[in-house]
Structure 1
Amino acid sequence: MSSLPFESDYIKTVNSFSELTTTLFEGKNNALCWQRNLDGDFEEIVSQLILENDITEVSAEDLEFLNLSENGNKARQIILNDMKLLTEFGALPSLNLLKCYERDDELGFISTDVYSWHVDRSPIGTDTYLCTYHGASSDILPNDEAVQKIVVPEIREALKKLHVGAENEFETFLVDHFFDLHYQEKPHAKSINLGKHSLWRLAVDHPDQAVLPSIHRAPKENQGEYRLMLIC
């Protein structure tokens, strides 16, 4: 398989699910991509699913219930196999039909929703796996092209005004409210779109992690189009 055009110190490609799950992150590398060109009609699946609220979790049974064409069935079998691979690996995959995520931008100067550049954190050793089958796909940002929002002077000062408590509790306040997980892109930063069909593994911030966590964000949805993505 040829390398992705954006393969870099941060992003590496692999050739199988086994390689995706066993390759160690090292150095600057904190994103792995199992690049795939999938054959199937994922739009047909989306057209038959029923959205409840803004996000609906779709089960394997929901997929099996759909009456699909040959190409739609190909897409269904691909998704079911991805769910099976991840489950057997020990993950808890969630297939989501998405209109949009909830926004959290009430403060104006900082947000803590998934549309903001952010990293994932876990108390245990884990990674984020995701694949977009239909609709807009997520973006990632090289770590050296972003800065933590809480160190931006004007944002930090605004957060200090928001904080109620002792000065030595301020850093704990930032962590408790997830402000420390969010980033601001530097001038001229170049984000990378994850595209459709490829299965990605992104490094998460946890005590045993050997590399920096991957900075990513949810995309702005295409008008009138739902997203179908697998994540765990």
Structure 2
Amino acid sequence: MHKKNSENNHFGIVSNFSELVNSKFHDTMNAICWERNLDGDFQEVVSKLQLKDNITEVYPEDLLALQLSERGHVAREIILNDLQMLSDFGALPSLNLLKNYERDEEFDFISTDVYSYHVDSSPVATSTFLCTYYGAASDILANDQALQKILIPEIREKLKELHIGSEDEFESFLIENSFDLHYQPKPDAQSVNLGSGHLWRLAVDHPGQEVLPCIHRAPKENNGEYRLLLIC
């Protein structure tokens, strides 16, 4: 985990899974990290998986079918255990082998893909869980270091030009197209990289949420390198 500034109070660090899922978000803290230094050869696991699309979901049976070295076996057991823990908790974890996500290039003034800083939204009380086992890792931002894009005057004016309908329907238009979920970092913003092997829990915008949702983005992939990512 790479911290670009020394006074991060928007995330907490815990030492086990129980603390990760039971700790409460509060005040400005809307991300929690189970900090881990994982053994095992995750690169070997990635090298033996088959990429079918730009994003390929990997199932436990796919992992179990791999012929691995001792260190590759250790890595596989860690992944399987993480999937089981999250499933037992009631989450729906997905393990993805990633070449890249689809880019949103429809407009030159606003992007709504996952490479743009954004928050997750849900109609039910939940959290986003993330762990990058191999490859580039995501970034998060403190909420006071970013601006909601729809509140930036020049972007808002261009969105109004796109909107076909009455002024009263404009806010609904922003929500329906997920424009309201995306953020622009301030010029002096200091991001935190989530690093490899750590299991993160991020606050989601939902009814009853007592903190602001966590602003995060997918990384630009390293050239010629796949990512192995657990997400739910």
The TM-score bracket by the shorter chain reads: over 0.9
- Matched ranges for 1:166-185 at <5 A: 166-185=166-185
* Alignment correspondent of 2:72: 72
State the Cα distance separating 1:187 from its structure 2 match: 1.1
- The one-letter code matched in structure 2 to 1:124 is V
Per-residue CA deviations over 1:132-165 (Å, capped at 9, x if unaligned) read 0000000001100000000000000000000001
Q: 1:5 to 1:172 in 2, by over 3 A?
A: closer
Looking at structure 1, the residues matched to 33 and 108 of structure 2 have their Cα atoms a distance apart, in angstroms, of: 34
* Alignment correspondent of 2:223: 223
* Alignment correspondent of 1:60: 60
- The one-letter code matched in structure 2 to 1:112 is T
- The one-letter code matched in structure 2 to 1:194 is L
Q: Give yes or no for the alignment of 1:24 onto 2:24.
A: yes
Q: TM-score, normalised by structure 2?
A: 0.97
- The one-letter code matched in structure 1 to 2:44 is E
State the Cα distance separating 1:194 from its structure 2 match: 0.3
- The one-letter code matched in structure 1 to 2:228 is L
Per-residue CA deviations over 1:64-103 (Å, capped at 9, x if unaligned) read 0000000000000000000000000000000000000000
State the Cα distance separating 1:7 from its structure 2 match: 6.5
RMSD: 1.3
* Alignment correspondent of 2:39: 39
- The one-letter code matched in structure 2 to 1:74 is V
- The one-letter code matched in structure 1 to 2:89 is F
Looking at structure 2, the residues matched to 4 and 124 of structure 1 have their Cα atoms a distance apart, in angstroms, of: 33
Q: TM-score, normalised by structure 1?
A: 0.97
Looking at structure 1, the residues matched to 97 and 199 of structure 2 have their Cα atoms a distance apart, in angstroms, of: 17
Looking at structure 2, the residues matched to 57 and 222 of structure 1 have their Cα atoms a distance apart, in angstroms, of: 20
Structure 2, unaligned runs of 5 or more: none
> Which secondary structure does the structure 1 equivalent of 2:56 belong to?
strand
> Which secondary structure does the structure 2 equivalent of 1:12 belong to?
strand
Q: 1:187 to 1:7 in 2, by over 3 A?
A: closer
* Alignment correspondent of 1:125: 125
> Which secondary structure does the structure 1 equivalent of 2:228 belong to?
strand
* Aligned 8 A contact 1:29 1:211 in 2: yes
